[in-house]
Amino acid sequence: MNKEERLKKRHNSEKRFKFYGLLSVSLALIFVLILIQNIASKGSSAFSRTTISVDISFDSKLLEIDGPITKKSIENAEFYDLSVESLLKIYPSKDSKEERQVLRLFSPDYEYEIKRYLIKNPDKINQIASVELTSSDDVDQLNKGNFPRDLPEDRRRVSNFQLNIYDNLVEEGKIGKKFNDYFFSKGDSRDPELAGIGGSLMGSFFTIVICLLLSFPIAIMASIYLEEFAPKNKITDFIEININNLAAVPSIVYGLLGLGILLSVMDFPRSTPLVAGITLSLMTLPRIIIPCRASLKAVPPSIREAALSVGASKFQTVFHHVVPLAMPGTLSGTIIGLAQALGETAPLILIGMVAFVVDIPGTPVDPSASLPVQVYLWSEQAERGFVEKTSATIMMLLGFLIVMNFIAVYLRQKFEKKWN
């Protein structure tokens, strides 16, 4: 084989290598796009809810309101009889069985929706008003096209009687769609049409804030000491090796640590963002220390030498010159570590954040769930409505993770110094 043939063979191998690399990246992007499209197609419908318009006569006698109309008197009024009577008027029923089927077209929250409407519109007392009430999950899925109508009645959750009512309401224009504000404002629920991520969203927020407040300053101080001030001996080598090892430890081990120490020994409250934040901060510490030390090491020695040459102390050199230059890489590493902590599920399950919590937490010591745990809980539910809620929650979680990673990249590119 002469020189030209060897050169041609080498060029061909380089072209094949570039092609294989481009093919690998393209396949990875295709699979990611397929995943996102699959999740979005299932979860996009969760951001809307089906409503049924019902004409309601707010009779003060049925409401048992005596005296002047005030907000307090409306809150104390009896809405059950008025609500049931109004809902049963949408379709004539022969017996109690059909009446129950009519009521099952609406969510169990219909009584409170009517009350909230009257509290906002007290001038509707003794008048007839059209109120949009949230439909049940079965009607919601039927209206969104996710419910098969061609199945036999004994294999459907919606009876033929209910289908006739639904078709009549569609013809009358009383079936509508509106933005599903319940998905963001409500906590968990056994009814898919009323379930929301408000509680888990606040739980994740408190957890990440506590994780940031604990892990960031400790990791920064530890990195500065180990890189700039600690003597190079066997003890520091042992600490550095163990920090690198801790970064590779599975997250469930930190959950066991939180369970054994924070809950069993220190008796912290279960299923709270406080315990979750402390547990995740232990997991995040080594993952912030490593990029922080790398950023400190990347600062050229000439910066230190220049500061020392003009009379700056070791402390002034590190904190006035080295740390500010290393901060972009430190911040990007911190954000990526927090993004990883935001998506963790295993340690949170071990510390009890899988409880069914309806209320939205107001403080870090209130019981709550988190977004990844909410996905885990809803994925086990049998109702069809929870499928779209699960996919929508995954979309929200992926959105937060993508934004946090973009912020990390932006900070690095914006403030990073290029050394020649």
Q: Are residues 175 and 289 in the same domain?
A: no
Q: How far is CA 224 from its chain centroid?
A: 34
CB 419 within 8 A of CB 301: no
Q: Are residues 169 and 243 in the same domain?
A: no
Amino acid letter for position 302 = S
Q: Is residue 142 part of a domain?
A: yes
State the pLDDT at residue 1.
63
Q: Are residues 173 and 204 in the same domain?
A: no
Q: Averaged over 38-54, what is the pLDDT?
A: 90
Domains: count for the chain: 2
pLDDT band at 418 (very low <50, low <70, confident <90, very high): low
Residue 204, domain extent: 198-415
Q: Are residues 307 and 263 in the same domain?
A: yes
201-205-209 Cα angle (round to 5): 170
Q: Averaged over 393-402, what is the pLDDT?
A: 89
Q: What is the DSSP letter of 353?
A: T
Q: Are residues 284 and 213 in the same domain?
A: yes
Q: Are residues 262 and 173 in the same domain?
A: no
C-alpha span between 386 and 383 (Å, rounded): 6
Q: Are residues 227 and 154 in the same domain?
A: no
Residue with tokens 């000491």: 225
Give per-residue pLDDT as tens, 158-198.
888 888 999 899 998 899 999 999 999 898 888 898 999 99
Radius of gyration (C-alpha) of the chain in whole angstroms: 30
Q: Averaged over 77-96, what is the pLDDT?
A: 85
Q: Averaged over 87-105, what is the pLDDT?
A: 86
> Is residue 207's pLDDT more than 90?
yes
Q: Averaged over 245-256, what is the pLDDT?
A: 88
Q: Averaged over 63-92, what is the pLDDT?
A: 83
Q: Are residues 134 and 203 in the same domain?
A: no
Q: Averaged over 298-317, what is the pLDDT?
A: 88
Q: Are residues 237 and 372 in the same domain?
A: yes
State the pLDDT at residue 301.
87
pLDDT band at 420 (very low <50, low <70, confident <90, very high): low
C-alpha span between 386 and 388 (Å, rounded): 5
State the pLDDT at residue 159.
86
State the pLDDT at residue 414.
77
pLDDT band at 42 (very low <50, low <70, confident <90, very high): confident
Give per-residue pLDDT as tens, 319-362.
888 888 888 888 888 888 888 888 888 888 888 888 788 888 88
Q: Are residues 252 and 359 in the same domain?
A: yes
Buried-state track 262-295, b at ≥16 Cβ within 10 A, e below 16: bbeeeebeebbbbbbbbbbbbbbbbbbbbbbbeb
Average pLDDT, whole number, for the chain? 88
Instruction: State pTM to two decimals.
Output: 0.86
Q: Are residues 401 and 301 in the same domain?
A: yes
Q: Are residues 232 and 306 in the same domain?
A: yes
> Is residue 112's pLDDT more than 70?
yes
Q: Is residue 80 part of a domain?
A: yes
Q: Is residue 40 part of a domain?
A: no
> Is residue 419's pLDDT more than 70?
no
